[in-house]
A and B are shown apart, each in its own frame.
Chain A
């Protein structure tokens, strides 16, 4: 159903047509606006008390680990300037790792180290940080430079994901990831975010990464945008952005849907990386995912959101919800009222 709802299908281009109020056109196309996202989805469906869980990556990791959600391995956590002295010990013997602020947003403050030589930490983009530069960076993170409101922060040091070669041709350094919007546990849209030279290796559309919409049914990339404009080829590598089949698409959707069971935010953004060895890993969760995913997919979110909103609130499994997203299941039926305890349903609710 998702494919058939694309607004931009084979409409014959008429040059001179009557002016229509853009708001009406956008509404008909099901585009979700910032105000509506904030009021009807984030404020209404995302309880504030859950925000700290996703804003603090250390907490998210902790919760996810307990629920069996795959995350990149955590090497160490630095909570204070005193602990920052342990940094060399944490990364001892490791050539590749990622340094990131626990409260960072938009990929800011994340440093990917690809190799260590002579006390120099070489970054993915070819530049390096010496011991002093790294200390300064750690201290910046700790003092809250990348956290909301400048509050003191913590530093996570994690395994650097050996990303699946599937996106090699359409990535300029950095880590490509797959952002999925999960509404009430149902994946509603997904896009691959591909770093560019301009985005400095960050997979953030706002900073100049390419966003490529993924067909929920098949896991194949369909459209792509760069800085808000449609593109067909990666600006740096020159390869075609569409038609890429994401491997293990169903597993990825199940993983994304499963995150809702751990952190029950109604409107959740799940960022997943594909690891060569470990498959899909959750990188981080986002309680305020952006709207660019609509442009990357060439379709508005609202029709699917409204369909899910109309579904009865009964326990479902991540597998079921992923199947819903893939068009194989029409959602729980309201007719047999949800039964208690040891329900004789096909699938017991996920933990």
Chain B
């Protein structure tokens, strides 16, 4: 059956469009509505040190694959250093080297990241049981005593670690184990100490260093967290409170007990972190992210094009929507217009001028043009020269309107220049023909119909949400295509035909009139 294959074709086309749309929505995190912004964090690490004068090598730990964040962009900034990076998947190190350097030196690492909803839990493999560290006699017995107490209070690795952290932070005056707490220990010392003590209990643990992201922070501290492995995943603990898990907006910088900055041929190293938050369009962020991951979805999309071309498509991609509206208004409603898709083109022109100004300009130019066209009729010109004459007059009218509106201080009048003058000239010509042949009423009815359809088209093509949707998800136009195919098989009545054939359905009592 022919009809069935058309339904099938429409269904397949619509399904393809919808599938691409859903995949893109899921994979690329593209927003469904325009102007949706997302926070982009820019974190800058500045390493300063004093060069001793000879060859210099500075190793800075940098983020490898920070959980819960995605790196959009990164820069390595230094004056005349060579930069390389080393990575083992979990850790990454940036190495700056220079043959000779003297005095104060600065190198920068800057990265832009966005949050994602990845769980903040390391899942790398079990590292094996650690060796028991060697300690002085006194410390060793203090550790053992502490571990004994903790062991009594706990059931598994998680509760063990929690209990240990709570105890070690509340040891004041607790006899022998008080040795382990000198009162004013820093979080980083504490974290390293906990890892060390856990090693005595043969529990694999490590320190994860990171930054609590906050806007406009010039000197963000590097906060340590202790991770213990429970034979399946790494579980994070706050080394001072024993609280489990990472807080929101905790950006992991590096993993391990090694120092952040390791210098050869320099001294007095110091690293400072500055954090800033900026809001950026989600579309741009998604574009940047995908470009970095060279996603084939992006290569095949509008975003792979140069900006100017993209802007052209921003407009062009809305044209099918306008055309579909014309399909509905002509085929289902039955509004008469000059030319099939001329209203869409007029609607595109309205984009430049705003609707009311556009309508005013359109009516003004067409009215004046028609009047002059009737004057020209007396000269009995041939068709093509007459069209050229009308076109010339339209251009001059547009110039006059622009100049006048400019002097009146209205800048919208200037955008009239983008009005499609050929369309205006054709409108005038066709309208005058209809006027002559079937009278002014028909001409004005059709002109008004064109204007009405153009205005409705304008509402569609200038709609921010629709424009955004088809620009970001052009595959949605396949749905429009499917709908057009279905509309092409519509053989029912047009709404206007209810009026035309009204004597039939209103009953025939009105016949006598």
- B387, closest chain A residue (CB): A150
A22 to B497, CA, bound (A): 9
B509 close to chain A: CB less than 8 A: yes
Q: Mark B419-450, 1 if CB is under 8 A from A, else 0.
A: 00000000000000100011100000000000
Tell me if A13 and B507 are in contact (CB < 8 A).
Answer: yes
Tell me if B489 and A33 are in contact (CB < 8 A).
Answer: no
Chain B residues lying within 8 Å of A143, measured Cβ to Cβ, are 382-384
Tell me if B493 and A11 are in contact (CB < 8 A).
Answer: no
A101 to chain B: closest CB distance in Å?
12
Tell me if B497 and A25 are in contact (CB < 8 A).
Answer: no
A139 to B490, CA, bound (A): 41
A300 to B500, CA, bound (A): 13
A232 to B130, CA, bound (A): 109
Tell me if B380 and A207 are in contact (CB < 8 A).
Answer: no
B329 to chain A: closest CB distance in Å?
13
Chain A residues lying within 8 Å of B304, measured Cβ to Cβ, are none
A207 to B505, CA, bound (A): 25
Q: Mark B303-342, 1 if CB is under 8 A from A, else 0.
A: 0000000000000000000000000000100100000000
Q: A33, A208, A300: which contacts B492 (Cβ < 8 A)?
A: A33
A9 to B351, CA, bound (A): 53
* Interface residues in A27-63 (C-beta closer than 8 Å to B): 27, 29, 31, 33-36, 39-40
Chain A residues lying within 8 Å of B439, measured Cβ to Cβ, are 198, 207-208
Q: A13, A26, A39, A228: which contacts B491 (Cβ < 8 A)?
A: A39
Tell me if B382 and A34 are in contact (CB < 8 A).
Answer: no
Chain A residues lying within 8 Å of B383, measured Cβ to Cβ, are 140, 143-145, 150
A99 to chain B: closest CB distance in Å?
16
B501 close to chain A: CB less than 8 A: yes
Q: Mark B491-513, 1 if CB is under 8 A from A, else 0.
A: 11110011011111101111111
Quick one: given A33-B491, A35-B490, A144-B383, are A230 and B504 in contact (CB under 8 Å)?
Answer: no
A281 to B124, CA, bound (A): 95
A7 close to chain B: CB less than 8 A: yes
- A35, closest chain B residue (CB): B491
A40 to B490, CA, bound (A): 10
A229 close to chain B: CB less than 8 A: yes
Tell me if A8 and B437 are in contact (CB < 8 A).
Answer: no
Quick one: given A150-B383, A207-B438, are A25 and B511 in contact (CB under 8 Å)?
Answer: no
A22 to B500, CA, bound (A): 11
* Interface residues in A126-142 (C-beta closer than 8 Å to B): 132-133, 136, 139-140
Tell me if A139 and B382 are in contact (CB < 8 A).
Answer: yes
B421 to chain A: closest CB distance in Å?
18
A298 to B504, CA, bound (A): 8
A32 to chain B: closest CB distance in Å?
9
Tell me if A31 and B433 are in contact (CB < 8 A).
Answer: no
- B332, closest chain A residue (CB): A35
Quick one: given A33-B497, A35-B494, are A230 and B511 in contact (CB under 8 Å)?
Answer: yes
* Interface residues in B457-513 (C-beta closer than 8 Å to A): 489-494, 497-498, 500-505, 507-513
Tell me if A34 and B334 are in contact (CB < 8 A).
Answer: yes
- A39, closest chain B residue (CB): B491
B366 to chain A: closest CB distance in Å?
19
B155 to chain A: closest CB distance in Å?
73
B439 to chain A: closest CB distance in Å?
8
Chain A residues lying within 8 Å of B492, measured Cβ to Cβ, are 23, 33, 35-36
Quick one: given A22-B498, A145-B433, are A8 and B493 in contact (CB under 8 Å)?
Answer: no
Quick one: given A33-B492, A40-B491, A106-B437, are A26 and B508 in contact (CB under 8 Å)?
Answer: no
A206 close to chain B: CB less than 8 A: yes
Chain B residues lying within 8 Å of A108, measured Cβ to Cβ, are 437
Q: A13, A33, A40, A207: which contacts B493 (Cβ < 8 A)?
A: A33
B374 to chain A: closest CB distance in Å?
15
A7 to B508, CA, bound (A): 9
Q: Mark B373-387, 1 if CB is under 8 A from A, else 0.
A: 000000010111000
A34 to B501, CA, bound (A): 11
A23 to B490, CA, bound (A): 13
Quick one: given A35-B493, A144-B383, are A7 and B504 in contact (CB under 8 Å)?
Answer: yes
Chain A residues lying within 8 Å of B384, measured Cβ to Cβ, are 143
Chain B residues lying within 8 Å of A7, measured Cβ to Cβ, are 504
- B502, closest chain A residue (CB): A22
Tell me if B382 and A207 are in contact (CB < 8 A).
Answer: no
A229 to B500, CA, bound (A): 9
Tell me if B380 and A132 are in contact (CB < 8 A).
Answer: yes
Chain A residues lying within 8 Å of B494, measured Cβ to Cβ, are 33-35
A295 close to chain B: CB less than 8 A: yes
Quick one: given A23-B493, A133-B380, A136-B380, are A11 and B498 in contact (CB under 8 Å)?
Answer: no
Tell me if B503 and A31 are in contact (CB < 8 A).
Answer: no
Tell me if B380 and A31 are in contact (CB < 8 A).
Answer: no
A20 close to chain B: CB less than 8 A: yes
Tell me if B513 and A35 are in contact (CB < 8 A).
Answer: no
Tell me if A20 and B505 are in contact (CB < 8 A).
Answer: yes
A76 to B45, CA, bound (A): 93
A25 to B498, CA, bound (A): 10
Chain B residues lying within 8 Å of A29, measured Cβ to Cβ, are 504-505
B348 to chain A: closest CB distance in Å?
23
Q: A36, A106, A145, A230: which contacts B513 (Cβ < 8 A)?
A: A230
Tell me if B513 and A25 are in contact (CB < 8 A).
Answer: no
A8 to B25, CA, bound (A): 57
Q: List 9 A-B contacts (CB under 8 A).
A: A13-B509, A20-B505, A26-B493, A27-B493, A29-B504, A39-B489, A206-B438, A208-B439, A300-B504
For the complex of A and B, the 8 pairs showing the least CB-CB separation, nearest first, are A25-B505, A143-B383, A36-B491, A22-B498, A136-B380, A8-B508, A33-B493, A13-B509
Task: Kindly list 19 other residue pairs between chains A and B, CB separation below 8 angstroms, not including A106-B437, A232-B512.
Answer: A22-B502, A23-B492, A26-B497, A26-B498, A29-B504, A33-B497, A34-B494, A35-B493, A39-B491, A106-B438, A132-B380, A143-B382, A145-B383, A207-B439, A208-B439, A228-B500, A230-B510, A294-B501, A300-B504
Q: What is the interface of chain A, defined by CB distance below 8 A to chain B?
A: 7-8, 11, 13-14, 20, 22-23, 25-27, 29, 31, 33-36, 39-40, 106, 108, 132-133, 136, 139-140, 143-145, 150, 198, 206-208, 228-230, 232, 294-295, 298, 300
